[in-house]
Amino acid sequence: MADFPMFADRSPDWAAGFPADTTDLTSAARSICDPALAALDSIRERAGAQLAVIREAFADLDRRAHELAALKAELDQRQAALAARAEEIERARASFDREVSDRRRLEQELRRLAETDDLTGHLNRRAFFRELQIVVSRSKRYGHPPTLLYIDIDRFKAINDTRGHAAGDAIIRTVLERIVTILRSSMDIVGRIGGDEFAILLPETTLSGAFVVADRIRLIVAETPFSILDQMIPVSLSIGIAAWNGVAGVDVSPEAVEDWVARADAALYQAKQNGRNAICSADDDGQDQSPIKPD
């Protein structure tokens, strides 16, 4: 056992089972160890291969994580760009809405200016005649006839000549201010036809009802002189009345409306011929219809 010092303290009987030739012992050891070592190498190879796969998988996960991070960063950038674009669009929309609103206000103001008499703030001749056409068409549909009042300030030229144009303008404004206090604000339509001549459209009003309104207008102006530029100026009105002559099947052409206005104007002229401060109807043969006449 000299070749194996670690077994020197063992009894000869103990080693009896081992081959006496060390070559045989080595060969036996190798026959036992070599397969184990080969199996271990195989295990190590397989483990190495599996480890390589795992490492590649982790590397792939890392790459994918980087790709995802890059995609997220790109997505965040795009979201930020979209948010900025949305804010820009919202600002543009708000600006557009303001421009549209401003344009509508401007159009409304231009329309108002085009339809309004500068001195009185009521409808001008063109706008008033358009309203006549609308009201007549509506009366044909619903069977509610309108009546038209044509009004003129008596001796207005003399007021202008003696008191001045400023006083004349003030008279026109103040006369209309008094008149509108007795009209139906939601229905009756007032227009300045020209100079000191006005017209009032009374929708859904009979001829007799229009006479009542006309006389109230005459009285509210004539009974109290006007204080204009520190002067007391008496004023009276002449009023012509014309009812729309029919409903069903009535022609509502512009010519028919103009004929209606001409009838009211003719009644106004007759009221002046009858002595002024008077009311006449187009259908009363020129007779003064004022319930009350001053002395």
d(CA 258, CA 141): 20
CA end-to-end span of the chain: 171
Distances (CA, A) of 92 to 82, 86, 89, 105: 15, 10, 5, 20
In the block, which residue shows the tokens 């792939």?
Answer: 60
- Contact between 257 and 242 under an 8 Å Cβ cutoff? The reply is no
- DSSP letters, 125-194, are HHHHHHHHHHHHHHHHHHT---EEEEEEETTHHHHHHHH-HHHHHHHHHHHHHHHHTTS-TTT-EEEEEE
Does the pTM of the predicted model rise above 0.85?
Answer: no
Q: What is the CATH number of domain 125-281?
A: 3.30.70.270
d(CA 243, CA 201): 10
**What's residue 198's pLDDT?**
95
SS3 label, residue 251: coil
**What's residue 45's pLDDT?**
83
Pair type for strands 189-194 and 147-153: unpaired
Q: Which of 259, 273, 277 is nearest to 217 (CA)?
A: 277
**What's residue 87's pLDDT?**
92
User: What are the tokens at 225?
Assistant: 């002189």
β-bridge partners, 239: 151, 279
**What's residue 281's pLDDT?**
94
pLDDT in tens, the chain (295 residues): 555 555 555 555 555 555 555 666 677 666 777 777 777 788 888 888 888 889 888 898 899 999 999 999 999 999 999 999 999 999 999 999 998 988 888 888 777 778 899 999 999 999 999 999 888 888 777 777 899 999 999 999 999 999 899 999 999 999 999 999 999 988 999 999 999 999 999 999 999 999 999 999 999 999 999 988 888 999 999 999 999 875 444 557 788 888 999 999 999 999 999 999 999 998 765 454 554 444 3
List all residues 6 or more positions away from 275 whose beta carbon is below 8 Å from its beta carbon.
288, 293
**What's residue 263's pLDDT?**
94
